[in-house]
Structure 1
Amino acid sequence: MTLSPDLLEEPAAPADGPEPSATRGGEQKRSVEQVALLLFITVPFVALVAAVPVAWGWGVSWLDLALMVFMYFVACHGITIGFHRYFTHGSFKAKRPLKIALAVAGSMAVEGPLVRWVADHRKHHRFSDAEGDPHSPWRYGETVPALLKGLWWAHIGWLFDEEQTDQHKYAPDLIKDPVIRRISRDFVLWTVLSLAVPPLVGGLVTMSWWGAFTAFFWGSLVRVALLHHVTWSINSICHAVGRRPFRSRDRSGNVWWLAVLSCGESWHNLHHADPTSARHGVLRGQVDSSARLIRWFELLGWASDVRWPSASRIDSRRREDAANAA
């Protein structure tokens, strides 16, 4: 995978090649996609809202919690390491088995087909917090009412926009790869697998339908809803608030309390200051589990040419008032 150093320029569209629909998700969302999207947002969210009274009334088993945590971090790292740092920004090179595993793990986050996700995110970096950004919270202005409206748009509203990013323009490298194109096209399969694993394990371990049901509630529905809102918070919250110790051409900020749940993605200011960096949490005390896993992949020989940020590179991106902002 060969990408531009900062991925801020528009990639050229190829003269021919597979149609965008071959990756599941073309340039417009059909009605059936809109309905499916609404269901995948509302049903897990209802489960998330119900989680507290359910836990109070029924309790939650250690198996349910273990399945929820395990599935959450597998899918979360699939997004942060796979969809984001590898496929979108080329922060490292991966051997083919790791590449496929990251594509599948990210797809199990139920955040949309791989190629569409990458195209949207590359377009976001091209126009970050400016006209053309698919999900900037500053879309409607800087007044309090405008920002509240913008936060809703950046968090969820943009997902229902019928006009989609041109995948041939923003993700031609992924469309050319038949295996990645197939994984993207089979998004529904990975969604079913993601939702089915917890109840299958829960049912087999407890040998009961009730064990399967509670595992589905916590390990599938609550887990998906939580991961969705954490991911969407990077688009909304991390572009509205947070400290900005590094120079970037947008309003990306660091939000410390999202760091663990976002697997290091909420150190968002450094990411926009240096998009291809494999580590986002570069300052002391900034937890970045995604960078740690990439380091392990490198030690195992599964990843190479990792773009680790050097001290001089970090210093060159500091703002003049970084001492006060850090």
Structure 2
Amino acid sequence: MTTTPDLVPNKAASPDPAAPAESPPLSGTLGGERRGSVEQAALAVFIVLPFLALLAAVPLAWGWGVSWLDLGLLVAFYFIGCHGITVGFHRHFTHSAFKAKRPLRIALAIAGSLALEGPVVRWVADHRKHHQHSDAEGDPHSPWRYGESVPALLKGLWWAHTGWLFNVEQTPQHKYAPDLIKDPDVRRVSRQFVLWTAVSLLLPPLIGGLATWSWQGALTAFFWGSLVRVALLHHVTWSINSICHATGKQPFRSRDRSGNVWWLAVLSCGESWHNLHHADPTCARHGVDRGQLDSSARLIRWFEKAGWVYDVRWPKPERLAARRAPETPQANPGEAEPAKTA
């Protein structure tokens, strides 16, 4: 692993001078810029409880097994929430990698909310701030926050993975996500986060109970389809913040330390091809080289063919070549998709 100096202010990512500095929050923000004690406690519950379930899942599966119904609920709700985050919260709402028609736009906001990673406006504001200060001073979750020694990196990995979520100071949403605050549909879904949390947690046991017509079926569905699923998705998502900024290959030039981590690709729905994403944040596909599975890009392609999305920013060979590090081989031309409009 190469080393760089400790976190320093990133001049290339300095705030837009035209952006409001300390203007009052616009109508539609969720919460203030500091977490209250109740919110902190709720956050701890929604992190610790699913994680304990995830720890218990291995011995339970080994001793008693898991039914096909529970496994199906886990997988289905996992990938609905995962693609809601990757396609919706990330590539669409944060980076505008494509434009979506209103029904799909609302559906993506709801699907991402089912992942229980916070309201869409807050999620987008945090992520835009991360890109503005990536691995530099001001980054909400850089693993290099405390330095480069082994103890400092271990502490930084914990911070990037989970610790930053408990930071009292919050990203100003009116500064980083004013476009979403002004969107009545997105603002409504964001304000309804408690509702979508309840739906996400209670729908699997409802389906499990009705399918088996038993309380036991509802209970096991809640364990696997709700708790284990949420914990697994959380830690895969947080691994993009921690692992993918601490290690991985860097075939493209970026101003930070983002890397590609292949073994997270399937579970992260293509997000772990993180180096290209930071080299070209608005690109709709992150896995652009041969063999780089990116289910989020595939889903966007299907939406485009159905006419539900348009103005998709597919990678162009010349754009990739301009960003590729000199020592890395060129991508297979067949892997880069041409720019298309609906």
TM bin (shorter chain) = over 0.9
Task: Provide the identity percentage.
Answer: 74
**2:47 is the alignment partner of 1:41:** yes
Asked if 1:199 is matched to 2:205, the reply is yes
Asked if the contact 2:321/2:330 (under 8 Å) is kept, the reply is no
Kindly indicate whether the alpha-carbon contact (under 8 Å) linking 1:17 and 1:176 is maintained by their aligned counterparts in 2.
Answer: no
1:325–1:180 Cα change, 3 Å? closer
Q: Distance in 2 between matches of 1:16 and 1:202?
A: 46
Residue 4 of structure 1 corresponds to which residue in structure 2? none
| Structure 1 residues 213-272: Cα deviation after superposition (integer angstroms, max 9, x where no partner) | 000000000000000000000000000000000000000000000000000000000000
Match of 2:4 in 1: none
Q: CA deviation at 1:54?
A: 1.2
Which of the residues 234, 239, 242 maps onto 1:228?
A: 234
Contact 1:243 1:325 in 2 (8 A): no
Of residues 8, 19, 26, the one that matches 1:18 is 26
Q: Is the aligned partner of 1:269 residue 2:264?
A: no
Secondary structure of the residue that 1:23 maps to in structure 2? coil
The one-letter code of the counterpart of 1:199 is P
Distance, in Å, in 1 between the alignment partners of 2:210 and 2:53 is 23
Which residue is equivalent to 2:141? 135
Show the counterpart of 1:116: 122
Partner of 2:303: helix, strand, or coil?
Answer: helix
In 2, Cα distance between equivalents of 1:224 and 1:28: 25
**How far off its partner does 1:26 sit?**
2.4
Query: Does the CA-based 8 Å contact 1:141-1:147 persist in structure 2?
Result: yes
Amino acid at match of 1:153: W
The residue type paired with residue 290 of structure 1 is: S
Letter in 2 for 1:171: A
Give, in angstroms, the shift of residue 324 of structure 1.
11
Indicate yes or no: 2:169 matched with 1:163: yes
Are residues 1:58 and 2:64 paired? Answer: yes
Report the equivalent of 2:112: 106
User: 2: CA distance between counterparts of 1:8 and 1:289?
Assistant: 30
The answer as to 2:314 corresponding to 1:308 is: yes
Would you say 1:89 and 2:59 are equivalent positions?
no
CA distance in 2, matches of 1:313, 1:101: 31
- The CA deviation at 1:10 is 3.5
- Cα deviation digits, residues 120-168 of structure 1 (max 9, x gap): 0000000000000000000000111100000000000000000000111
Q: CA deviation at 1:284?
A: 0.4
Cα RMSD, aligned residues only: 1.7
Shift of residue 107, structure 1, vs aligned partner: 0.3
Partner residue of 2:221? Answer: 215
Cα shift at 1:18: 2.9
Kindly provide the amino acid, as one letter, of the partner of residue 203 in structure 1: G
Query: Which residue of 1 is the match for residue 246 of structure 2?
Result: 240
Asked if the contact 1:81/1:102 (under 8 Å) is kept, the reply is yes
Q: Partner of 1:118: helix, strand, or coil? A: helix
Distance 2:31 2:79 in 1: 25
Per the normalisation by structure 1, the TM-score is 0.95
In 2, Cα distance between equivalents of 1:26 and 1:295: 37
Aligned with residue 297 of structure 1, among 298, 303, 317: 303
Cα distance in 2 between the residues matched to 1:296 and 1:40: 33
**Counterparts of 1:189 and 1:236, CA distance in 2:** 29
8 Å Cα contact 1:23-1:113 kept in structure 2: no
Q: Check the 8 A contact 1:245/1:322 in 2, yes or no.
A: yes
How far the C-alpha of 1:9 sits from its partner, in A, is 6.0
* SS at structure 2 position matched to 1:246: coil
Aligned-partner Cα distance in 2 for 1:187–1:310:
37
Which structure 1 residue ranges, 5 or more long, are not aligned?
Answer: 1-6
Report the alpha carbon displacement of residue 323 of structure 1 after superposing the two structures with TM.
3.4
**Structure 2 CA distance for aligned equivalents of residues 122 and 17 of structure 1:** 17
- Cα distance in 1, alignment partners of residues 124 and 151 from structure 2: 31
Bigger RCO of structures 1 and 2 (CA < 8 A, at least 6 apart): 1
Residues in 2 aligned to 1:294 and 1:213: alpha-carbon distance in whole angstroms: 35
**Retained in 2: the 8 A contact 1:298–1:304?**
yes
What are the superposed Cα offsets for residues 66-122 of structure 1, whole Å, 9 maximum, x if unpaired?
000000000000000000000000000000000000000000000011111000000
- Residue 32 of structure 1 pairs with residue 35 of structure 2: no
Total equivalences in the alignment = 318
